[in-house]
Each structure stands twice: as structure tokens, then as C-alpha cells.
A and B are shown apart, each in its own frame.
Chain A
């Protein structure tokens, strides 16, 4: 406790003056990219990691005593609505799920509310960055807009944005019967399969047509075609067609995952599969295609009654065993802070512990193309760090300090404030 207080005091003073330079000493460093370093140091200079190891020369910088503590890279939640949704039941506080089937021009970061109470609540558990998605469950679009990778700290959304257009989100057309409306009388049957199939085929036709249209637009633009009018929707597709921006395709079921794989191959686009709830027989094909997968929520009941009870818990290991690169997302905002427990539940059911940790740090950074900047404790990377008293994938572990770009981040939040306020009530 004494030690804890000392640590808190030294990170609480004067960080602005030292240009985000400091050294954490005598801690166990978990770089994720390599072996753990016992009694090690991490030197941070100007917000970047300058040295890591047991012998780090650090003169003239503030010292953070880390004896008995652990240093990990900050975690990355690969699928959230952070900043876009405040209270899920109140439409006015939600900015996900725009109207329209094809909205590639939408950019998630421009609607991120930096004052959202969810941001400090989430980062207090060691999550320093997140993918925030333009569309989530219940979305009716197909190409729903550009997801942004954001830092969970900053005065404005512009300051928070690590990467605009980190992925083009798609909700892949589904052959699942649509959920029965809550207005429908009890016991009412869903639409017959042939109708669902017809609607699906129609959607797939429009999707192909849209990609084709975008391709023609790109060709016309490259060829400086006379009289070509600028089209913001089609222009937004160009980085996707050029393979510069991955499509993040939400496809929960094997049938849709397979269709998405075929589609990506046919369209020659780079793909990240997301929200997969089963693997089926697709392991070899996903691996061969080099498609990474964002899993979650792991804390879910089986899709079908006849699936094993632990299907969702054991699924990450099924993907990992198949040689597929995985990362986790919570696909929400309310439970975004519980990202590490998605991974540890997977570990309880077979995923190796080190892989579980990677799937919320380095793997995510690789998948989103920022492994040169974050995801592990390596020289040259941004100092997105958390200091803990143990394994961050364990609920009981306390996250004591968080740094984003070397800035000590305030771990106070709405929940702590209310806690302290009401503990004082006589």
C-alpha cells in the first residue's frame, strides 16, 4: 500500500513539464513481443519507448518505482462503439447505424464524443486504444462506413484519432431469417427460407454492383475522364479497391463467413473477418487466405442448443489452433472495459495464456497495421503502457497506472467519483 501511494505520487506531479519522459524501474516488464524481463526498466522519451531491459541508462528523467509491479503494453479493443454510444436504449445518445446500405464515406471518428463517460471508465482497466465502428448489432447497412482506431485519451476526437479509415466496415448479407419483430404476434412464423434467400441474393447483387461501380469510378478518375463528377461515396471505396484499407467484415455464421471469403477473393480486397461465432470447416481456407479474425463476444451462449455448452469459450482456441491470427473485441461500449476477460475466458478453455495476451495487444496492432507504433513494449513504439500488480487478464488484478503516448492518464472516472462521493454519505 505504501509502495502504491509512492508510485501514485510520483506520477501525479509535473508530467507536463518533462515532455513525457520518465523511466519505470525494478518492475517485471512484459513486452509481449519477447520474453518477460524481471527487475527491468522501461525508459520513455518524448512519449516513445527509448529503451527496455535490465540495464537501462536513464539520467535526468523522472523515476517511477516499479518494484513488485508489472508493466504491460496498453490493451487494444478491436471492436467497440466507444465515443459513439452513451446510453444504448436512448436513440438520441447513439450515433451508430446510419441509414442507407452503402455508406463508405462515413468516418467513425468525427462523431466520437471525447467527453463520453465510457472512455475514462474503459481506460481505467488498461485499455489504451480501440477500434470504434460506425455500425453494430442491429445495423441494416452493408458497407457501413470507416472504423477508426482511437486512443482513449485526448481533448478532441482529432487528438484521439490514431488512424482514420483503419478499416471499411461491412455487415455481410445474411441468410439467417431476420429476427421476429417484437410487434409480431406470439408464435408467428418467420419468413420462409426461399424469401430470405431471395432477399439475400438481391443484397449480394447490389453489393457486387456497388463494388463494380466504385471500380468504374476509380478507372474513370485515373483516366481523367472528361466530365467526371466527384462522388464522395465511390471515392471512399478507392483505398479498399487498392488494398490500402482492409474491409472489416462482420459475419457471425460459417455460411456468411464462407461467402465473405469468396467475395474478398473475387473482389481482390484485403479482409479482416469479425464477430465470427463459429469456425466450422473454414479453418484451412481462412488460414490459407491469411485473413485475421476479430472474435467476440467470447462471453456468449452457444449459437444453437445442440452445440457444446462451452462453444463460445473454446472458439478462440479453435481459430488459433487452425493457425489463424486472432484479436478480441467486445462489440459494444458498456462492457468495453471487460476486454481482458474475453481473452482469459478463452484461455480457461484452451487458448494459450501468452496468445490470449497477444490477442488484446500485439495481434490487434498487427491486424490494424499499427504494429510499428503500438501493441508491445519495444523501442520506438508509442509509450502506451499499463502498470499493474499482476496479470491484467485476471479480474482481481489492479491497474495502477496507464500511459498513452507517454502521458500519465487520469484513472478517475464517473464510477470512482460516485463511489467516493457516496462512501462519504454519513
Chain B
């Protein structure tokens, strides 16, 4: 029997592998972002990849068909700055926290993953917080709701690390009503610069020790290996181009400072995050080949955001910077398409430029543009289907597809609500019953003390 079932499993697996999973989306307006708009178009998906795109696409008979008549398909939205799917965001005790990493705290049950999906988001750059000049390691994930923590990361995407400049990393160095002692260096933007320089100075020395060691090994010697340093390892990866730097920043001065530090130590800043005064130094950012990931229109929430303008994305784009719009918010993440429309209003960018800000541009910034960010043959079938043009405020997502699989289906979500309500009511009834029995039990256990027995705390 055992053997038989094992054989059956093998047969089933074999059949599964032989028959490719094929889906056809048809009758849609397709916003490819990189190759124009196709009306009444079809997308053929095979094994999670886009196999064909066009007005006449032949699909095999067994293909699952999604009729998207009247609907718009765009590439799955990419959010280059988020903190969803994490158990912890800030390791704020030290000014260089490169030894910690977001990949160790991924929480696949975070409901905001589902909310992001419901807003058409398929790829997310999950960042450490901004409490330290050099923060923790970061990871790019796909919003594969229902999958395990191990299955969330975007396969093959380079890992990253968060840097932070300005008010946040210097806050713990500033005496305040809440903190008079235990001040943490740095307290100024000068100190932030120094903190980063000191760390890379150390990393360079450490890197040289390892290089010497490896050279000695290659010479056939038997040297003692240097002691591993978990704080410096990620910085060496930065120096060697194996880890991308995502730097939180606001003001023009600190942006220039960081670009200079990076030049001095021979590494690249992959993206400037927030970069609200990026428009003031767009030329320098462009020359450095650094991407800018900004808000559409946030401003005035703190001093360093007072010169923030909604034209930031447009100016930087016009001056040659690859710009993306990010959310840094579980809410805003759900309508990045509406945020993208703001670059048309403020700065007069085109529809395609607007859509690029949340698709191909963040893909380029994360160096995953060969895999995602546009609707092109060979790319991952990560798609968002809207019931109207995604740049219209009246449109909403009806389906979100990742790797060819439908991960969000609004019709199913809505249809399933009654059952969920029922389940919730049952759970509450069960909990009330349990609490009632528990309180009876307590009264019986302590005869005579029933009047004084505290009532159990029932969920309110």
C-alpha cells in the first residue's frame, strides 16, 4: 500500500510537470509600460512567465481563460520602500546595525501583504528602519500571500542594506525631555557622515585582512583566518557590489555628503529613499547613477520635509534620474497607482512616465528589471488587473497575479465575506462559552469566595 501510494504520487507529479500551467488573459487593454498600449489584447502565461503578448494570441485548449473585457492590465506594482511583512523594523540601539537583517524577521501572515496585493502590488523592497546611520540588511519579496517566509523573497534579487541620514539617525543623540542621558553618537549631520566613514574605514581594513588571508592561501601557505565580523561582512559586500545601498535622506546637503562618501570609499548608492530635496541636486544624483525613490506629495510633517514638493519626481526625471514612487505606508501602498497620477498633475509627466514610477523604474533600481516591471515576453507573469484605467481615481484592482497565479481576486474576496463573518461569530461564541466555564470552575474551586472572584477578562 505504501509503495503504491508513493508510485501514485510520482505519477501525479509527472503529469503535473509535463502539462504546463497555461493562462490566457484576453480582451484587455494592456499597458505594457515599455512597449506601448495594446487594446483588445491578450497575454499568454506559461509556467509563471509571460509567453506571448498581442492582439492575436493563440492559446491551447486547456488554458485557463481570464476574460478582461473592459479591464486594464498593467505590470504588478513594485514598491521600493516598505516595512510590511516584518516582525521588527528598527534595531535602534547602535548607530551601525548592519549585523541585523529584515530577512530574519519576515512574517508571512502580516495582513498588509494581502492589502498590498489588493492594491496591485506584487514586489516589495522590505527595508530596515531609519534609526541608524547604517541600518540593517534588507530584502526584496513578492507578495505571495499564503506562502511561507522562505517563499516570500524574490529569487535572485540582490540583498540590500538601509542607510539613514538627517533627523532620524541623530535623534538618539539629541537630549530631549524624553532622553537626557544614554545619548547615542551621532547628534549632528556631521556625526552621521563620520559614522558612515568610520564604518567603511573599518570595513576596508577588514576586507584587506581577508584578501591577505586568501592571497596567502593561494600561495599555498596555511595562515590563521581573520575573525569573522558580522557587522562588517555586509559592508564588505557593499564595497564589492554584492549588496545594494538604500539610503533614507531628505535634505540636499546630506544627499551630496553621502554621494561623496560613497565615491571616496568606492561604492555605489543604489537608491536614495524619500530624497525629498533630490530636486535641488538632481544633476549630482544623475551623475552618480543613483536612483531616487520618493513620495508623491508628502511634506511638512517634519522640519527636513518642509521644502518637499510634489514636483520632486518630475524634476528629477527631467534631469535624468531614474525615479520611483514608494509608499513607506501600509495604506498608501494600496493605491500607488493614484500616487503615480500625481506626477502628471505636478510636473506634467506622461502616462507612461507615471506608470514607470511604480513598475519598471523601481525594478531598475532593485536590478530586477529583466524579471519584472513591464509586460514583455519572458518576464515573470506579475500583473495587476484594474476595472478601469489605473491612473483614474475611480479604478480599483480586480485581480493580482504573481508568477502566473491569481493571488488576489476581488470577486472571491467579496463572495467570501459572509462565511468569514459567520466564522468570526462562531469563534466569539466559543470564546465566551470558554470564559463562562472558566469562571464557573473558579467559583467552584473557591467555595464561599464566589462573590469576590474577579471576572475573567473577556475580549471586549
CB of B231 within 8 Å of the partner chain = no
Nearest Cβ on chain A to B346's Cβ, whole angstroms: 7
- Determine the chain B residues whose CB is within 8 A of the CB of A306 once the complex forms: 420, 424
Contact size range, A: 35 or more
B300:A341 contact, CB within 8 angstroms:
no
Kindly state the separation between the CA atoms of A88 and B305 in the bound complex, as whole angstroms. Answer: 10
- Determine the chain A residues whose CB is within 8 A of the CB of B330 once the complex forms: 301
B306:A87 contact, CB within 8 angstroms:
yes
- Determine the chain A residues whose CB is within 8 A of the CB of B460 once the complex forms: 175, 193
Considering only CB atoms, which chain A residue lies closest to B389 in the complex?
A396
Considering only CB atoms, which chain B residue lies closest to A344 in the complex?
B393
Considering only CB atoms, which chain B residue lies closest to A310 in the complex?
B118
B302:A89 contact, CB within 8 angstroms:
yes
Kindly state the separation between the CA atoms of A97 and B413 in the bound complex, as whole angstroms. Answer: 40
- Determine the chain B residues whose CB is within 8 A of the CB of A396 once the complex forms: 341, 344-345, 391-392
CB of B240 within 8 Å of the partner chain = no
Kindly state the separation between the CA atoms of A341 and B331 in the bound complex, as whole angstroms. Answer: 14
* CB < 8 Å neighbour of A345 from B112, B311, B318, B393: B393
Nearest Cβ on chain A to B322's Cβ, whole angstroms: 19
B345:A398 contact, CB within 8 angstroms:
yes
Kindly state the separation between the CA atoms of A396 and B345 in the bound complex, as whole angstroms. Answer: 5
Given contacts A341-B338, A349-B396, A415-B346, contact A88 B420 (CB under 8 A): no
Considering only CB atoms, which chain B residue lies closest to A343 in the complex?
B393
A334:B299 contact, CB within 8 angstroms:
yes
| A292-321 interface code vs B (CB 8 A; 1 in, 0 out) | 000000011110011011100100000000
Kindly state the separation between the CA atoms of A310 and B387 in the bound complex, as whole angstroms. Answer: 15
- Interface secondary structure of A, over-half rule: loop
Nearest Cβ on chain B to A86's Cβ, whole angstroms: 7
CB of A372 within 8 Å of the partner chain = no
- Determine the chain B residues whose CB is within 8 A of the CB of A18 once the complex forms: none
* CB < 8 Å neighbour of B111 from A89, A175, A305: A305
Given contacts A395-B393, A396-B341, contact A334 B115 (CB under 8 A): no
Contact size range, B: 35 or more
Kindly state the separation between the CA atoms of A299 and B339 in the bound complex, as whole angstroms. Answer: 12
Interface residues of B in 168-182 (CB under 8 A from A): 178
A193:B338 contact, CB within 8 angstroms:
no
Nearest Cβ on chain A to B149's Cβ, whole angstroms: 18
A90:B396 contact, CB within 8 angstroms:
no
Kindly state the separation between the CA atoms of A395 and B341 in the bound complex, as whole angstroms. Answer: 6
Kindly state the separation between the CA atoms of A385 and B329 in the bound complex, as whole angstroms. Answer: 34
- Determine the chain A residues whose CB is within 8 A of the CB of B395 once the complex forms: 348
* CB < 8 Å neighbour of A353 from B111, B345, B394: B394
B301:A347 contact, CB within 8 angstroms:
no
B178:A422 contact, CB within 8 angstroms:
no
Interface residues of A in 345-404 (CB under 8 A from B): 345, 347-349, 353, 393-398
CB of B335 within 8 Å of the partner chain = yes
A87:B300 contact, CB within 8 angstroms:
yes
- Determine the chain A residues whose CB is within 8 A of the CB of B280 once the complex forms: 422, 425
| B283-323 interface code vs A (CB 8 A; 1 in, 0 out) | 10000000000000111111101110111001100100000
Nearest Cβ on chain B to A188's Cβ, whole angstroms: 16
| B391-427 interface code vs A (CB 8 A; 1 in, 0 out) | 1111110000000000000000110010010001000
Nearest Cβ on chain A to B389's Cβ, whole angstroms: 9
Kindly state the separation between the CA atoms of A396 and B342 in the bound complex, as whole angstroms. Answer: 7
CB of A201 within 8 Å of the partner chain = no
- Determine the chain B residues whose CB is within 8 A of the CB of A415 once the complex forms: 299, 309-311, 346
Kindly state the separation between the CA atoms of A87 and B299 in the bound complex, as whole angstroms. Answer: 9
CB of B229 within 8 Å of the partner chain = no
B303:A301 contact, CB within 8 angstroms:
no
Interface residues of B in 326-374 (CB under 8 A from A): 330-332, 334-335, 338, 341-342, 344-347
Kindly state the separation between the CA atoms of A397 and B298 in the bound complex, as whole angstroms. Answer: 19
Given contacts A419-B347, A423-B315, contact A393 B298 (CB under 8 A): no
Given contacts A87-B300, A87-B301, contact A419 B309 (CB under 8 A): yes
CB of B114 within 8 Å of the partner chain = yes
CB of B279 within 8 Å of the partner chain = yes
A418:B309 contact, CB within 8 angstroms:
yes
Given contacts A305-B111, A309-B118, contact A422 B279 (CB under 8 A): yes
Q: Which residue, B178, B334, B393, B394, has most C-beta atoms of chain A within 10 A?
A: B393
Kindly state the separation between the CA atoms of A402 and B394 in the bound complex, as whole angstroms. Answer: 24
- Determine the chain B residues whose CB is within 8 A of the CB of A333 once the complex forms: 300
CB of B457 within 8 Å of the partner chain = yes
B115:A309 contact, CB within 8 angstroms:
yes
Kindly state the separation between the CA atoms of A414 and B305 in the bound complex, as whole angstroms. Answer: 13
- Determine the chain B residues whose CB is within 8 A of the CB of A334 once the complex forms: 298-301
Kindly state the separation between the CA atoms of A64 and B303 in the bound complex, as whole angstroms. Answer: 41
B457:A394 contact, CB within 8 angstroms:
no
Kindly state the separation between the CA atoms of A414 and B334 in the bound complex, as whole angstroms. Answer: 28
B394:A88 contact, CB within 8 angstroms:
no
CB of A183 within 8 Å of the partner chain = yes
Kindly state the separation between the CA atoms of A118 and B299 in the bound complex, as whole angstroms. Answer: 10
A345:B335 contact, CB within 8 angstroms:
yes
- Determine the chain B residues whose CB is within 8 A of the CB of A347 once the complex forms: 393-394
B413:A308 contact, CB within 8 angstroms:
yes
* CB < 8 Å neighbour of B302 from A90, A341, A398: A90
- Determine the chain B residues whose CB is within 8 A of the CB of A90 once the complex forms: 302-303
- Determine the chain B residues whose CB is within 8 A of the CB of A397 once the complex forms: 345
Kindly state the separation between the CA atoms of A9 and B92 in the bound complex, as whole angstroms. Answer: 55
- Determine the chain A residues whose CB is within 8 A of the CB of B310 once the complex forms: 415
CB of A117 within 8 Å of the partner chain = yes
Kindly state the separation between the CA atoms of A308 and B347 in the bound complex, as whole angstroms. Answer: 36
Kindly state the separation between the CA atoms of A344 and B279 in the bound complex, as whole angstroms. Answer: 30
Interface residues of A in 208-259 (CB under 8 A from B): none
Kindly state the separation between the CA atoms of A396 and B346 in the bound complex, as whole angstroms. Answer: 9
CB of A192 within 8 Å of the partner chain = yes
A87:B302 contact, CB within 8 angstroms:
yes
Q: Which residue, A193, A302, A306, A310, has most C-beta atoms of chain B within 10 A?
A: A310
CB of A113 within 8 Å of the partner chain = no
Considering only CB atoms, which chain B residue lies closest to A121 in the complex?
B299
- Determine the chain A residues whose CB is within 8 A of the CB of B279 once the complex forms: 418-419, 422
| B440-460 interface code vs A (CB 8 A; 1 in, 0 out) | 000000000000000001001
Considering only CB atoms, which chain B residue lies closest to A116 in the complex?
B300
CB of A105 within 8 Å of the partner chain = no
Kindly state the separation between the CA atoms of A86 and B346 in the bound complex, as whole angstroms. Answer: 22
CB of A140 within 8 Å of the partner chain = no
Interface residues of A in 313-346 (CB under 8 A from B): 313, 333-335, 337-338, 341, 344-345
Nearest Cβ on chain A to B425's Cβ, whole angstroms: 11
Given contacts A301-B112, A345-B335, A395-B338, contact A117 B309 (CB under 8 A): no
* CB < 8 Å neighbour of B396 from A300, A348, A394, A425: A348
Kindly state the separation between the CA atoms of A397 and B341 in the bound complex, as whole angstroms. Answer: 10
Kindly state the separation between the CA atoms of A251 and B315 in the bound complex, as whole angstroms. Answer: 42
* CB < 8 Å neighbour of A88 from B300, B315, B413, B417: B300
Given contacts A344-B393, A418-B309, contact A301 B115 (CB under 8 A): yes
Nearest Cβ on chain A to B399's Cβ, whole angstroms: 14
Interface residues of B in 85-135 (CB under 8 A from A): 111-112, 114-115, 118
Having A333-B300, A395-B344, one finds 7 other A-B pairs with CB under 8 Å, namely A87-B305, A299-B332, A306-B420, A308-B414, A344-B394, A419-B347, A425-B280
State the 7 A-B residue pairs at the shortest beta-carbon distance, nearest first: A344-B393, A89-B302, A395-B341, A419-B311, A415-B309, A309-B118, A305-B111
Some 8 contacts from A to B, beta carbons below 8 A apart, are: A301-B115, A309-B413, A310-B396, A393-B393, A394-B393, A415-B311, A419-B279, A422-B279
